[in-house]
Amino acid sequence: MPTKTKESMIVGNWKMYKTLAEAEAFVKGLTSTQTAYLAVPFTLLQPLTKIIPSHVVLGAQNMNDASEGAFTGEVSARMIKDAGAKFVILGHSERRTFFKEDNAFIQRKVERAINEKIEVILCVGETLEEHEGKKTEEVLKKQLLESLGKVSAFDLISIAYEPVWAIGTGHACDPEVAQNIHHYLHTLAPKVSKILYGGSVKPDNAAAYLKEKDINGLLIGGASLNVESFDKILSLT
């Protein structure tokens, strides 16, 4: 069972925010020298590789499952890798909800990313209705096992537990509740070494998650857009 022996993984998810000028200002303002992962819009990958310090790792927020083809508007694993992505977020709840991505599609993307040796952060999380209906474990198990499929390259996979009701709402999951869920997820996927928590993480609640035994890092949306708040969270690791 993974423990807290390794440094916590702190990941910023910029979603559909920031022009190049805004991203450059963010990178210039970063004072922390802790390893930081930044999942940026496709358009920022290549230009940011030229200006990021060596402790910042760039990644993408999505990709297509096909190697290439006539898929207007889509971006492949090889393309994000070519543009400088070392990792990719897959199965984020915004992709599942707004773009109707299902576990089978996400599973094909996981396989494709791994074939390209791109690290994967696979997101799982229950809705408020499922949470209130006490279906959390059942929902997470299905999402996780179906999205992982038969992959075996566990060194390239991290999981992010992001309760849908906590994303962007200011209603973060209680750290002890999250700890129990992380423990459950670690038992479902014992070979995955990092399970991150995400959902309304801010500088003032981040430490409470990081001290929990089975929470191995954080996936941060809103608070990663502001360099001072992201810096503060990084300084806690």
3-state secondary structure of 15: coil
Query: What x-and-dash track marks residues 140-169 binding ligand PGA by CB under 6 A?
Result: ----------------------x----xx-
Please state the closest distance from residue 223 (CB atom) to ligand PGA, in A. 6
Q: Which residues are catalytic?
A: 92, 162
Under rule CB under 6 A, residue 199 binds ligand PGA = yes
Query: What x-and-dash track marks residues 75-104 binding ligand PGA by CB under 6 A?
Result: ------------------------------
Q: Is 23 exposed, middle or buried (0-12, 13-18, 19+ CB in 10 A)?
A: buried
The residue with its CB nearest to ligand PGA is 221
3-state secondary structure of 62: coil
Q: Among residues 14 and 105, whose Cβ is nearest to ligand PGA?
A: 14
Under rule CB under 6 A, residue 198 binds ligand PGA = yes
Q: Among residues 30 and 121, whose Cβ is nearest to ligand PGA?
A: 121
Q: Among residues 179 and 200, whose Cβ is nearest to ligand PGA?
A: 200
Angle CA 124–126–128, to nearest 5: 150
Give dist(CA 137, CA 188) in Å, integer.
10
3-state secondary structure of 209: helix
Of 29-37, 41-49, 127-135, 221-229, the window that binds ligand PGA (rule: CB under 6 A) is 221-229
Please state the closest distance from residue 5 (CB atom) to ligand PGA, in A. 25
Contact status, residue 131 vs residue 172, Cβ threshold 8 Å: no
DSSP letter at 58?
E
Contact status, residue 12 vs residue 39, Cβ threshold 8 Å: yes
Tokens 């999380």 correspond to what residue? 125
Q: Write out the residues near ligand PGA by the rule CB under 6 A.
A: 13, 162, 167-168, 198-201, 219-223
